Amino acid sequence: MATAEISTVILPRSPQGEFRNEPFIDFSKHDNAHAMKEALERVGDLLGHEYEMVIGGERLRTADKIESHNPARPTQVIGIHQKAGAEHAEQAMQAALKAFATWKYVPLEERVSLLLNAAHIIRERKFEFCAWLTYEVGKNWAEADADVAETIDFLEFYAREALRLSKVTTPIQYPGERNELLHIPLGVGAVIPPWNFPFAIMAGMTAAAIVTGNTVILKPSTDAPTIAARFLDVLEEAGLPPGVVNLCQGGPAFGQAIVEHPKTRFISFTGSKKVGLEIHERAAKNQPGQIWIKRTILEMGGKDSIIVSADTELDEAVSGVIAAAFGFSGQKCSACSRAIVEEPLYDVFIDRIRERVAQLTVGDPAKNPNMGPVVNAAALQKIQGYIEIGKKEGRLIAGGNIVETPEKGYFLEPTVFADVAPDARISQEEIFGPVLAIIKAKDYDDALDIANNTEYGLTGAVYTNDPEKLNHARRAYHVGNLYFNRKCTGAMVGAHPFGGFNMSGTDSKAGGPEYLYLFTQAKSVAEKLR
């Protein structure tokens, strides 16, 4: 990498005390706001530099390039990256296989220390990484901070979980034997993260794989490759040996080659339903020389609902829906895209939503508005298409327009449709933008039926003061992450293991006590005592 210098490796760190979530930054404090502005200036001076592909610790360049652009200022280049093709897949695989031969035997404590060292480095440079997220994917300050904090949480949590997993044993000791249950690594895995949480999800999937002894071929999103390159710098500074993580920025051809490679042992993917299912299908086909069934760890889409019961605190429900629908311009798989409102509260709920949406600000995330841009021109066009569909399927009560800026950024107004049918396209299809559909329910049972009527099952929420309604939702609301009297976004590592049902993926429960099992295989060992 042309612009980064590897610092002296810090001393190995050990977990001290129980896991605690990383505190969020209070940007209302002058010192924090000033620090963020300074970080934006410093990082702004680093934009446009070129980053190498990293295979086996070696920096490589290709003739073809990938350019990352600021979605708020599309002419501004964030980073120039190499474009790995299918021809690089074998090179990356051989480097990862070579590293796996030794990495799988590295003492667990050293792998744990690597993650903790990385968490320490990121914590020390928190504002800097927030600035990179603001520039590369358009996150405002709070959204960027949440992404960075979750990155630190994943590193700290998986380090501790790896130590806990190493102590797991058989339920009983059979008389006359010594019985063990060893969780050993799988091998070389492909890690294919998304652009919307380009730091946290990318780092979390990578960290879970390597702390359990696997090696990784990391293919970041073409919309957020600079964050991945910066993360690899952190890992190397923290003590990462060559070949354990191989950074290959590339497009679909490279991704397909890695997924289909006979030596790929697992694929960890977060992204769209379409691509996730394609990966699952390709991984299921046995290739010549392949001696295992590839494991797929898939997090895909969502069509998430918040149920607003007639007995709830109205202002709380409105605030929760607004935050979940329009945070990061609705570009979260957990975002609330449907508010299902019981009939007695329906009209006043619409009035309150209209009032609150009118107060939201849209603009350059470096200036910290409520909403920044959508990620690219293709996303803008897709969302506009759904807005046109929504005009035919519902009643437009707010937004619906592009926000024009001198820099021609990809900005949309927060958009709300009322009187939407439960089976309408904007009620069923994932839009991934700042578009909310409001649906009227006859009663609570009807609301639950509507909430469960999509092919997805990721997140959901219920606002009600009735404990019986909450108990009913515990049993009947079919989502992987269910929230009561709070928004359906903002899963916290350790507290809210994240993953969904149905077409939302394989319910991997990232940030939970079961996640690391997905990157290991259990080996039972029985020794007869003499």
Measured over all CA atoms, what is the biggest interatomic distance in the chain, rounded to whole angstroms? 81
**488 included as an active-site residue:** no
pLDDT in tens, 284-302: 999 999 999 999 999 999 9
Would you say 304 and 337 are in contact if contact means Cβ atoms under 8 Å apart? yes
Continuous segment of H or E residues that includes residue 24 = none
Would you say 440 and 341 are in contact if contact means Cβ atoms under 8 Å apart? yes
Q: Give span(s): CATH 3.40.309.10, the chain.
A: 304-493
Tokens of 454: 């999509």
Helical pair 108-124 and 200-211, crossing angle rounded to 10 deg = 160
For residue 92, give the nearest of 322, 293, 254 by alpha carbon: 254
Beta bridge pairs of residue 60: 53
Per-residue confidence in pLDDT tens, the chain, 530 aa: 333 333 334 456 778 789 999 999 999 999 999 999 999 999 999 999 999 999 999 999 999 999 999 999 999 999 999 999 999 999 999 999 999 999 999 999 999 999 999 999 999 999 999 999 999 999 999 999 999 999 999 999 999 999 999 999 999 999 999 999 999 999 999 999 999 999 999 999 999 999 999 999 999 999 999 999 999 999 999 999 999 999 999 989 999 999 999 999 999 999 999 999 999 999 999 999 999 999 999 999 999 999 999 999 999 999 999 999 999 999 999 999 999 999 999 999 999 999 999 999 999 999 999 999 999 999 999 999 999 999 999 999 999 999 999 999 999 999 999 999 999 999 999 999 999 999 999 999 999 999 999 999 999 999 999 999 999 999 999 999 999 999 999 999 999 999 999 999 999 999 999 999 999 999 999 999 99
Please state whether beta strands 188-192 and 215-218 pair in parallel, antiparallel, or not at all (unpaired).
parallel
Would you say 283 and 269 are in contact if contact means Cβ atoms under 8 Å apart? no
Q: Which residue among the candidates 22, 143, 299, 413 is catalytic per the annotation?
A: 299
Q: What is the separation of C-alpha 76 from the centre of its chain, rounded to a whole number of angstroms?
A: 25
Tokens of 183: 């969780």
- How far is 258 from 467, CA to CA, in rounded Å? 49
- How far is 166 from 405, CA to CA, in rounded Å? 54
- How far is 276 from 298, CA to CA, in rounded Å? 6
Tokens of 423: 């089976």
Looking at domain 30-300+509-523, which CATH architecture does it have?
A: 3-Layer(aba) Sandwich (3.40)
End-to-end Cα spacing for the chain:
57
> Which amino acid would we find at residue 45?
D
Beta bridge pairs of residue 461: 306, 483
Scored b (16 or more CB within 10 A) or e, 290-299 reads: eeeebbbbbb
Beta bridge pairs of residue 524: 181
What does the H/E/C string look like for 75-125?
Answer: EEEEEEEECECHHHHHHHHHHHHHHHHHHCCCCHHHHHHHHHHHHHHHHHC
- How far is 500 from 390, CA to CA, in rounded Å? 26
Q: Is the dihedral of CA 409, 48, 199, 283 positive or negative?
A: positive
Please state whether beta strands 215-218 and 245-247 pair in parallel, antiparallel, or not at all (unpaired).
parallel
CATH superfamily ID and name for 304-493: Aldehyde Dehydrogenase; Chain A, domain 2 (3.40.309.10)
Q: What pLDDT sits at residue 12? A: 64
For residue 306, give the nearest of 327, 333, 334, 330 by alpha carbon: 334
Q: Which residue among the candidates 248, 333, 336, 488 is catalytic per the annotation?
A: 333
- How far is 119 from 424, CA to CA, in rounded Å? 44
- How far is 340 from 427, CA to CA, in rounded Å? 10
Q: Give span(s): CATH 3.40.605.10, the chain.
A: 30-300+509-523
**130 included as an active-site residue:** no
* pTM of the full structure: 0.96
